[in-house]
């Protein structure tokens, strides 16, 4: 058998394996609704383009425009026009990107690990990150963002200018954070290649992002901070003291994001190896660390100086690259298999972490969110079965607004906004409410119905006797 035949068979086997994993993710994700910020990026923005034309970007309502390139909205609107507007279609559209993430992750592992067994072990560790797994089950911008990032990174590492150029071109128009990741890749390229950096890919890759920014300024008059939006001023510190208080808080938040959902185990392993095993002396480790940190350096550099919340998903690619570095460092240890299993178990166990109600959790950052959809459907059926009007039920982000915004089912009923005067409250511990709101619900309402699955709850409260609406 020729080497070409062996190579083709191996590629076919790899493609088949990744296809099976992709279909498995698709089956798990198919009934997952529109979640978290995607109620804006997908439902609201995609709905505007679906109604007014897939390229009618100017039709996106100003109050619901976060300033990001409408990549996912355009993709969804076009798909809905062709195949119908539904959750199933929305998830199916993103499955090729899921497949691409798996393929590019494997390619990345093969670059750093020559032995197939080592590459397989590293690959399993890389894709086991809770935030990555969760994002691959959601209709979200993050899936194409991670794919195009990995495509560009592999192009950079392997000297493939076309891969780097294509990856950068799309990465820059997926979202504003995609543009930041382009900057991070340039920093990585500069560190690895210094004066030998090849500029053509960056010149080509930046054109779509520059074109979008130019269009944005011409049509909207702003790029990042929406004057008509609900997000507020990203730099609204108020004072110098406020600036340093916000900076200190953001540093702590970024640290927590890197340690959350089991990542603390591989992170401590990397830190211990660098410091106490003198791993910093290794050129290979320093380069891998530069890739892991440098790739998101613009993201966390900007995140530290804004007042907006910092999501776990902002650093997904760094989580993956730190896992890759941890896998490479295992060769330094005698009991490497035990250490590997501990790290893998910690990452997988991160999906079962449930924080107390009054502690905010990144619910789009672990597979724990999958438990929400079943209890939510049960509660919806209960509300409908009791003939309770949705307009009489207060609920919260990301379940507020139209029912259709989550389910893409044409149900235009609108939930009430919570004021404390509504007849009913639909509460779930995935809503991350202020302590005062949780206390108000427990003080003024009585529990009517609860559905629970693996720590995730959906609860219906009715206003307590003696407290009428409006009081």
Instruction: Please state, rounded to an integer, the average pLDDT across all residues of the chain.
Output: 93
Is the pLDDT confidence value at 9 over 80? no
221 phi, psi to nearest 5 deg: 85, 5
pLDDT > 90 fraction of the chain, expressed in percent and rounded = 82
Quick check: 398 and 35 in contact, CB under 8 A? Answer: yes
pLDDT in tens, 71-124: 999 999 999 999 999 999 999 999 999 999 999 999 999 999 999 999 999 999
Per the structure, the complete domain to which residue 193 belongs is given by 104-352
Q: Is residue 47's pLDDT more than 50?
A: yes
Element (H, E) at 327: helix 316-329
Q: How many CB atoms lie within 10 A of CB 321?
A: 25
State whether 312 and 345 are in the same domain. yes
Q: Are 120 and 70 in contact (CB under 8 A)?
A: no
Give yes or no: residues 314 and 374 share one domain. no
- Which band of pLDDT confidence, cut at 50, 70 and 90, is reported for residue 379? very high
Rounded to an integer, what distance in angstroms lies between the CA atom of residue 362 and that of residue 276?
32
Confidence of residue 465 (pLDDT cuts 50, 70, 90): confident
Collapsing DSSP states into helix, strand and coil, what is residue 23?
A: helix
- As a whole number, mean pLDDT of residues 270-299 equals 93
| DSSP structure string for 231-270 | S--TT---SHHHHHHHHHHHHHHHHHHHHTTTTHHHHHHH
Distances in Å between the alpha carbon of 226 and those of 39, 182, 231?
17, 23, 8
Kindly indicate the confidence band of residue 243, based on its pLDDT and cuts at 50, 70 and 90. Answer: confident
Contact 318, 258 (CB under 8 A): yes
Q: Which residue has the higher pLDDT, 243 or 254?
A: 254
At residue 62, the pLDDT reads 84
Q: How far apart are CA 108 and CA 44, in angstroms?
A: 35
Report the predicted TM-score, pTM, of the whole model to 2 decimal places: 0.95
Same domain, 184 and 332: yes
pLDDT band at 382 (very low <50, low <70, confident <90, very high): very high
In a domain, 44, yes or no: no
Same domain? For 327 and 382 the reply is: no
Indicate whether 183 and 305 sit together in one domain: yes
Angle at 103 between CA 100 and CA 109, to 5 degrees: 135
Of the candidates 299, 302, 266, the one whose C-alpha atom is nearest the C-alpha of residue 122 is 266
Q: Can you tell me the mean pLDDT for 367-394?
A: 98
**Are 289 and 426 within one domain?**
no
* Structure tokens belonging to residue 107: 């390619």
In a domain, 55, yes or no: no
Identify whether 263 is part of a domain.
yes
How much is the average pLDDT of 173-188? 96
Beta strands (DSSP E) in 64-114 are: none
Inter-CA distances, 241 with 122, 232, 247, Å:
44, 19, 10
Domain end position, chosen among 297, 325, 352: 352
Largest CA distance in the chain: 84
Q: What is the pLDDT of residue 8?
A: 62
The total of structural domains in the chain comes to 2
Q: Of 352, 381, 410, at which residue does a domain stop? A: 352
Give the tens place of pLDDT for each residue, 197-211.
Answer: 888 899 999 999 999
Q: Are residues 276 and 196 in the same domain?
A: yes
Q: State the pLDDT at residue 171.
A: 97
At 240, the pLDDT band (50, 70, 90 cuts) reads: confident
Average the pLDDT over 291-310 and give the result: 91
Q: What is the pLDDT of residue 197?
A: 80
Specify whether the CB–CB gap between 113 and 328 falls below 8 A. Answer: yes
Contact by Cβ (8 Å): 59, 44: no
pLDDT at 298 over 60: yes
Q: Residue 237: its pLDDT value, please? A: 74
Residue 334 and residue 432 in one domain: no
- 331-342, pLDDT tens digit by residue? 989 899 999 999
SS3 447: strand
Q: 208-233 pLDDT, tens per residue? A: 999 999 999 998 888 877 776 655 56
Same domain for 278 and 179, yes or no, is yes
Same domain membership, residue 323 and residue 278: yes
Do 229 and 322 fall within a single domain? yes
Q: Which of 352, 375, 402 is the last residue of a domain?
A: 352
Pair 315, 459 in one domain: no
In this predicted structure, what is the pLDDT of residue 229?
64
């Amino acid at each position: 058998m020729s080497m070409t035949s062996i190579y083709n068979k191996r590629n076919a086997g790899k493609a088949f394996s990744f296809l099976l994993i992709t279909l498995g993710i698709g089956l798990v994700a198919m009934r997952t609704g529109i979640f978290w910020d995607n109620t804006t990026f997908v439902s609201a923005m995609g709905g505007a383009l679906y109604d007014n034309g897939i390229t009618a970007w100017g039709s996106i309502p100003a109050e619901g425009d976060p300033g990001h390139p409408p990549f996912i909205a355009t993709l969804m609107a076009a798909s809905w026009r062709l195949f119908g507007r539904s959750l199933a279609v929305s998830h199916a559209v993103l499955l090729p990107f899921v497949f691409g993430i798996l393929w590019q992750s494997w390619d990345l592992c093969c670059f750093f690990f020559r032995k197939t067994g080592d590459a397989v072990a590293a690959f399993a560790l890389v894709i086991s990150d809770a935030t990555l797994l969760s994002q691959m089950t959601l209709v979200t911008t993050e899936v194409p963002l991670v794919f195009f990032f990995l495509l560009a990174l592999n192009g950079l590492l392997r000297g493939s200018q076309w891969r780097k150029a294509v990856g950068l071109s799309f990465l820059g128009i997926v979202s504003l954070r995609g543009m930041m990741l382009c900057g991070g890749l340039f920093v990585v390229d500069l560190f690895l290649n210094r004066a030998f950096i090849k500029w053509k890919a960056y010149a080509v890759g930046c054109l779509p992002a520059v074109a979008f920014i130019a269009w944005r300024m011409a049509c909207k008059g702003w790029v990042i901070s929406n004057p008509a939006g609900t997000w507020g001023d990203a730099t609204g510190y108020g004072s110098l003291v406020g600036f340093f208080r916000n900076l200190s808080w953001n540093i702590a938040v970024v640290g927590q994001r890197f340690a959350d959902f089991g990542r603390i185990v591989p992170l401590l392993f990397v830190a211990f190896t660098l410091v106490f095993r003198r791993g910093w002396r290794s050129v290979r480790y320093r380069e891998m660390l530069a890739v892991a940190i440098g790739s998101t350096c613009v993201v966390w550099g900007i995140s530290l100086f804004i007042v907006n919340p910092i999501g776990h998903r902002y650093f997904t690619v760094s989580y993956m690259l730190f896992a890759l570095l941890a896998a490479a460092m295992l060769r330094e240890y005698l009991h490497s298999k035990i250490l590997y299993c501990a790290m893998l178990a910690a990452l997988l166990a991160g999906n079962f972490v449930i924080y107390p109600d009054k502690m905010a959790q990144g619910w789009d950052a672990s597979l724990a969110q999958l438990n929400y959809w079943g209890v939510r459907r049960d509660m919806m059926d209960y509300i409908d079965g009791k003939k309770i009007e949705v307009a009489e039920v207060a609920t919260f982000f990301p379940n507020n607004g139209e029912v259709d915004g989550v389910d893409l089912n044409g149900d235009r009923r609108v939930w009430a906004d919570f004021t404390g005067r509504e007849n009913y409250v639909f509460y779930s511990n995935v809503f991350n409410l202020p302590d005062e709101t949780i206390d108000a619900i427990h003080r003024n309402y009585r529990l009517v119905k609860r559905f629970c699955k693996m720590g995730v709850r959906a609860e219906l409260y009715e206003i307590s006797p003696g407290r009428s609406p409006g009081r």
